[in-house]
Amino acid sequence: MQLLAVFLVVLAVVAFVGAPLRGRTRGLDPDHELRAELADLEAAKEAKYREIRDAELDQRTGKLSEGDHRVLDGELRAEAVALLKRIDAVRARLGAEAPPVTPPPAVS
Amino acid sequence: MATVGRALLIVAFAVALYGIAASLYGAFAGGRAWVDSGRRAVYALAGVLTLAFAIMEIAFLRSDFSFNVVATHSSTTTPTFYKATAAWSSQEGSLLLWVWLLSVWSSLALALTRRRVREVAPVATAVLMTFASFFLMLTIFFAQPFETLAAVPQEGTGLNPLLRHPAMMFHPPMLYSGYTLFSIPFAFAIGALVTRRLNAEWIVSTRRFALAAWLCLGIGIVLGARWSYTELGWGGYWAWDPVENASLLPWLTGTAFIHSIMIQERRGMLKVWNASLVLATGTLAILGTFLVRSGILDSIHAFGASTLGIPFLILIGAMVLGSVGLVVWRRADLASEHRLDSLLSREAVFLLQNVLLVALAFVVWWGTFFPLISEAVTGTRASVGPPWFDKYIVPLAFLVVALSGIGPLVPWRRLTLASVRRGFVLPGAAALVTVLALVAVPGAWAEPKAALFAGVVAFVLVSVGQELWRGMRARQASAAEPAPVALAGVVRRNRRRYGGYVVHAGFAILLLGVAVSSSFQHAKDVSLRPGQSARVDGFDIRYVRATSHAGAEKISLGAVLDVTKDGRHVATLRTTRGFYPSQDISQGIVGRFFGGESESEVGLRAGLGRDIWTVINPNITPLLPIIERGNRTFRRAMVGIMNVPARNRQQAAAQLFTLRDAAVTAVARRFVTSPWPADFRFIVSPLATWIWIGAIVTFLGGLLALWPAPAAARRRVTAGYAARVARELARTAQ
């Protein structure tokens, strides 16, 4: 009985762990370098948005003056724009698999 | 069931080895299918180890003494609550708990990151499975939790009395959760270094696990301190014991890491520092596990001498050499993307705070390992005591707390004179007022360090309060909400920021409790008869009467004490000393009930102003002649039973055991009927309760920072900023 229980556990483990290896074999992703770079840039973009948001909260809570915030916000947005451009470039190299960041109409 | 348990450990070991091979093969040659299979191996490992752990728990709950670990760490008289926790009071069971928790947390981490860090995750999986393989190897070859006994005893030795405390139910699992959760950022850091993916993604993916590790380890440390305060009978909560220190080391470097990764996440700076910190933290977590198990340093918390030292040293050596080698190998990829804008910025405050935390860790490490260092250099083992630690820790902790108040007031990138005026005036004034007000409190300046520290704590609390107030006002200005709703709203939307601030406030309160309770503590050791009193810090403590209780589990001798101040009743305290029976029959039939291990139940009146703490140490020497007489009487009676006809022998033995129990109870009652002086320790500690209140606030803040924001709210917030930046992009594109 005990042996049977262990055998069933082994069977279940083998079936579960081996499942991805059955059927279609997926080799190395030829674009893996680009995809990793894209993921890095996306993470950096999220961090930059958070930074912009934190600067705004700093201004609203009095840690940054209006003028200081304007300067800092400008710097941060410029950095975010640079990141977006790099993201678009990587996406373009990936063959338009994912839609590029579409800028909305400019606000005058 | 032991056979199934052993087989499951072997299956788990094979799964872990397969997980390493599949992940590495998938990462460097075979593709996603092998990587997925390697990740599934981690889930399978968690499943198999859950079964193995359940088998061990069932054995404990059923008092199955065929398991060696159950026979030596539990008994039929052990309460069910403690039977369940006895599993991790043993070396073998705690190793199984360690690897089981590692498998569970690793599964969670890999499940949550399965669509991210795709290049880093397979290497991280291999690292995590290497840890699992190591611990499984220990449970299979060195300390086997499913070892069985050829001759099954009718009764077990019982759980160490000192471990029969509610905090012990959670203390080891929380510590191990902390250690194993720190393995996750460690493993991902190794993965990032190997694959040269050293930007923000691996940090974003594992930040929450680093925070969870910090939280669990912190809770574990505080539970251990609480246990020490209420169970060990010496009246303190921290003794700079090597095992206590071992848990503090990764917590200190982990605290530094969860601050400095914010700088890397935002600015791409401090990559070498962060990689080194997280690798050091992971290594220190294993070092802590090693110290508890190797017996190389004397500690009340350690498992004693064992054969596990060498394997652990090999693992730690490999971790240190591998970590240093990887950081040096990838130093070009770890170059900072930006420079510090200003020495007056939040980044600079974080950096200084990091240096102080690492200095604290170094002091703790040096003091902990000094016995080994001194032995290696001079041939004589010398150790350093609490005064040595206090000399270096106190000024460093003072500065860390001060920075925890300054940090929230300083904006990122640069601080201007105007922001200093806006932010620092109120907290600075609060600090000054507190310090000056303490001049009016008699005796407060007898300990100038504590008085100055109170000023720093006031600074921290007011700076955090001011930040919460201003956040609430800002929210009210934009959303026109009532104050409580606005406060909840701003905190909910900025959990990391305000959770962190709450942690700072809680930690300041905790350290204020430590500073004041240790500086102004009054302690007295006295010997009293019932009716006699002692005076401690203005409190009269009268020994009212002695108590005794003889139960199946233990014999308790204790006292009821009445505490008064200026004639007014303050509290009634009850303290006992529990004597657990020994399995050593050479101590005699009666004597063995008084000859086993013993533990204290502390009499404690905890209050916001002060704690009144007491413990009794009843001298049982006056009972020894009676115990010896009882031993002789029952020895003769046992011999007499041999002359009873075989068919009546069992009944006669049962009657004899009933008489023995009555005799043991009567002996214990002598402590009440003919009381003799008992030794007491009385301690009055001001603000000691604030240590635990501060800890609770700290961990609630940590939980707040850890709690994920609802996905919809996160998307909505990000979308707003994304739209603004995208408009900027459109403008620059024109």
When mean pLDDT is compared over B61-65, B112-116, B285-289, the highest value belongs to B61-65
Chain A residue with Cα closest to B116: A39
**Residues in B 192-211 with any Cβ partner in A closer than 8 A:** 195, 197, 199-201, 203-204
When mean pLDDT is compared over A11-25, A63-77, B138-152, the highest value belongs to B138-152
Q: Is residue A66 part of a domain?
A: yes
d(CA B319, CA B134): 13
Q: What value does the mean pLDDT of chain A take?
A: 79
Q: CB-CB: which of B1, B33, B494 is closest to A57? A: B494
Contacts of B116 in chain A (CB under 8 A): 39
CA dihedral sign, ordered B88, B90, B96, B99 = positive
Which of A42, A50, A69 to substitute to test the interface with B, most B CBs within 10 Å? A50
Strands B533-536, B610-617: pairing kind: unpaired
Q: Is residue A106 part of a domain?
A: no
**B116·A25 Cβ contact <8 A:** no
Contacts of B15 in chain A (CB under 8 A): 13, 17
ipTM score for this prediction:
0.80
Distance of CA B178 to the CA centre of its chain: 8
**A35·B201 Cβ contact <8 A:** no
* Amino acid sitting at position B603: G
Contacts of B718 in chain A (CB under 8 A): 46, 49
Q: Is residue B91 part of a domain?
A: yes
Q: Is residue B275 part of a domain?
A: no
Out of B46-60, B370-384, B496-510, pick the least confident.
B370-384
Distance from CA of B205 to the nearest CA of A (A): 9
Q: Is residue B85 part of a domain?
A: yes
Chain A residue with Cα closest to B474: A60
**B8·A13 Cβ contact <8 A:** no
> Is pLDDT at B125 greater than 90 in this prediction?
yes
Q: Which is nearest to B198 in space by CA: B332, B351, B20, B108? A: B332
| pLDDT at residue number B612 | 96
d(CA B192, CA B213): 20
pLDDT > 70: percent of chain B: 95
Distance from CA of B411 to the nearest CA of A (A): 6
> Would you call A1 an interface residue with chain B, using a CB distance cutoff of 8 Å?
no
Q: CB-CB: which of B40, B119, B733 is closest to A103? A: B733
d(CA B269, CA B265): 8
- Contact between B435 and B455 (Cβ < 8 Å): yes
Q: Is residue A104 part of a domain?
A: no
Joined together, the tokens standing for residue A47 give 């961090």
- Contact between B457 and B511 (Cβ < 8 Å): yes
Give how far Cα B425 sits from Cα of B154, B371, B419, B431, B505, Å. 71, 47, 10, 10, 18
> Is pLDDT at A101 greater than 60 in this prediction?
no
Distance from CA of B34 to the nearest CA of A (A): 7
- CB within 8 Å of B70: residues ≥ 6 apart: B59, B60, B63, B64, B86, B156
> Would you call A86 an interface residue with chain B, using a CB distance cutoff of 8 Å?
no
pLDDT, one tens digit per residue, over B501-539 is 999 999 999 999 999 999 999 999 999 999 999 999 999
| pLDDT at residue number A100 | 47
d(CA B734, CA B730): 6
Chain A residue with Cα closest to B715: A46
Burial of A68 (0-12, 13-18, 19+ CB in 10 A): buried
Helix, coil or strand: residue B565: strand
When mean pLDDT is compared over A60-69, B4-13, B233-242, the highest value belongs to B4-13
Contacts of B419 in chain A (CB under 8 A): 62-65, 68
Helix, coil or strand: residue A3: helix
pLDDT > 90: percent of chain B: 56
d(CA B728, CA B726): 5
Domain extent for A74: 45-96
Contacts of A101 in chain B (CB under 8 A): 726, 729
Which of B729, B732, B734 to substitute to test the interface with A, most A CBs within 10 Å? B729
pLDDT, one tens digit per residue, over B321-375 is 999 999 999 999 888 877 877 788 888 899 999 999 999 999 999 999 888 888 8
DSSP secondary structure letter of residue B345? S
d(CA B182, CA B250): 8
> Is pLDDT at A28 greater than 70 in this prediction?
no
| pLDDT at residue number B24 | 95
Domain extent for B84: 1-161
Distance from CA of B41 to the nearest CA of A (A): 5
Query: Does B718 or B382 have the greater pLDDT score?
Result: B382
Distance of CA B360 to the CA centre of its chain: 18
Distance from CA of B550 to the nearest CA of A (A): 43
Q: Is residue B30 part of a domain?
A: yes
Report pTM. Answer: 0.89
Name the phi and psi angles at B708, rounded to 5: -70, 145
**A18·B412 Cβ contact <8 A:** no
Q: What's the whole-number mean pLDDT along residues B120-134?
A: 96
Query: Does B68 or A45 have the greater pLDDT score?
Result: B68
Query: Does B406 or B717 have the greater pLDDT score?
Result: B406
Joined together, the tokens standing for residue B103 give 């498998």
Contacts of B113 in chain A (CB under 8 A): none
> What band does B653 get if pLDDT is binned at 50, 70 and 90?
confident
> Is pLDDT at B116 greater than 90 in this prediction?
no
Q: Is residue A26 part of a domain?
A: no
* Amino acid sitting at position B384: V
**B29·A17 Cβ contact <8 A:** no
Q: Which is nearest to B213 in space by CA: B270, B277, B149? A: B277
* Amino acid sitting at position B520: F
Taking the alpha carbons at both ends of chain B, their separation in whole angstroms is 74
**Residues in A 34-53 with any Cβ partner in B closer than 8 A:** 35-36, 39-40, 42-44, 46-53
> Would you call B474 an interface residue with chain A, using a CB distance cutoff of 8 Å?
yes
Look at residues B120, B146, B161 and tell me which one is the last residue of a structural domain: B161
Q: CB-CB: which of A6, A20, A81 is closest to B725? A: A81
> Is pLDDT at A23 greater than 90 in this prediction?
no
Q: Is residue A70 part of a domain?
A: yes
Q: Is residue B508 part of a domain?
A: no
| pLDDT at residue number A104 | 40
> Is pLDDT at B719 greater than 70 in this prediction?
no
> What band does B702 get if pLDDT is binned at 50, 70 and 90?
very high
**Alpha helices for B407-447 (secondary structure H):** 417-437
Q: Is residue B590 part of a domain?
A: yes
Q: What value does the mean pLDDT of chain B take?
A: 89
Q: Domain count for chain B, please give it.
A: 2
Q: Is residue B153 part of a domain?
A: yes
**B30·A28 Cβ contact <8 A:** yes
Helix, coil or strand: residue A89: helix
> Is pLDDT at B298 greater than 70 in this prediction?
no
Q: Is residue A81 part of a domain?
A: yes
> What band does A108 get if pLDDT is binned at 50, 70 and 90?
very low
> What band does A27 get if pLDDT is binned at 50, 70 and 90?
low
- CB within 8 Å of B607: residues ≥ 6 apart: B689
pLDDT, one tens digit per residue, over B555-601 is 899 999 999 999 999 999 999 999 988 878 788 888 888 888 888 89
DSSP secondary structure letter of residue B557? E
Q: Is residue B334 part of a domain?
A: no
> Is pLDDT at B689 greater than 90 in this prediction?
yes
> Is pLDDT at A59 greater than 90 in this prediction?
no
Q: Domain count for chain A, please give it.
A: 1
Burial B567-597 (b: 16+ CB within 10 A, else e): eeebbebbbbbbbbbbeeeebbbbbbbbbbb
pLDDT, one tens digit per residue, over B199-211 is 778 888 888 999 9
Crossing angle, helix B200-231 and helix B242-267, to 10 degrees?
150
pLDDT, one tens digit per residue, over B221-249 is 999 999 999 888 788 899 888 888 999 99
| pLDDT at residue number B419 | 78
Distance from CA of A49 to the nearest CA of B (A): 6
pLDDT, one tens digit per residue, over B664-681 is 888 888 899 988 899 999
- Contact between B42 and B107 (Cβ < 8 Å): yes
